[in-house]
Amino acid sequence: MMRKIQTKGWRPWAARCACGWVLCGLVLAARAQAAAPLVANGDFEQADAHEPGRPAAWGRIDGLGVQWTDAGDAAHGKAIRMDTRVSEKAMMAQWRKTGQTNEWNIPNAADSAVAETYGLSLYSDSMPVKPGQPYRISFDFKGAGGGKVWVRGYGKLQGQVRRRWETWVRCAGNSSGWGKCSQVFFPTKFRPDVTEMKVMLYAYFPAGLYWFDNVRIEPITVAEYDAEKR
């Protein structure tokens, strides 16, 4: 005669195990979401799905003054290179060629280097700003010194989204090697109506080559912000 296998107590144990796995999965998912970078594609390794010639989550690349290209070393892979030696006339011709004159325009463009007047820039896509939250921006930079990275905050004013706040980091580096730059900032401390932000990479004088890579924004505590702002 076959004996019945006793299953008493098995199902509650299985249920507890299943619940444990579910909770573990939820915790891991939450951690992964929390660790997701605010600046999408800040390392510039991913191409845009619709325009493979530019990095995903960043503005259009003109291909002359602003290039998305190989940095020449394994540690950085692809990066943004800005050449401010290019003349204003050459930049205008390139923007016409790439259909970007609605974004960029130099009235009465001259033969002089764009470094001497307007410089060159590239914007990230927008990212949300959390009320009461301070942040730290960090990035890698290589160049002769005439570079800045801006964080610009936007919010509604009279029913329209407008720039409401900004800060910038002066780039410290040299032409021969990469340097790391960082700074803390707190958009809603000064402008509570700021709801989103963008990063703008900017290069200007002296005329030369400027490189940007590994752009990152991360949330920090108010205590960390206060300590670094002293």
The DSSP line for 7-38 is -TTHHHHHHHHHHHHHHHHHHHHHHHHHHS-S
Confirm whether pTM is higher than 0.95: no
pLDDT of residue 135: 98
Beta bridge partners of 167: 151
Read off the pLDDT of residues 92-120 as tens digits, 9 standing for 90 and up: 999 999 999 999 999 999 999 999 999 99
Which homologous superfamily is 39-229 in?
A: Galactose-binding domain-like (2.60.120.260)
The DSSP line for 158-213 is TTEEEEEEEEEEE---BTTB-EEEEEEE-HHHH-TT--EEEEEEEE-SSSSEEEEE
Read off the pLDDT of residues 132-169 as tens digits, 9 standing for 90 and up: 999 999 999 999 888 999 999 999 999 999 999 999 99
Residue 3 has pLDDT above 50, yes or no: no
Read off the pLDDT of residues 168-182 as tens digits, 9 standing for 90 and up: 999 977 777 999 999
Where do the domains of the chain lie? 8-37, 39-229
Q: How high does pLDDT run on average in the chain?
A: 88
Rounded distance between C-alpha atoms, residue 204 and residue 86, angstroms: 11
Residue 228 has pLDDT above 60, yes or no: yes
Residue 66 has pLDDT above 80, yes or no: yes
Read off the pLDDT of residues 28-61 as tens digits, 9 standing for 90 and up: 443 434 457 899 999 999 999 999 999 999 999 9
* Residue 102 CA, distance from chain mean position: 23
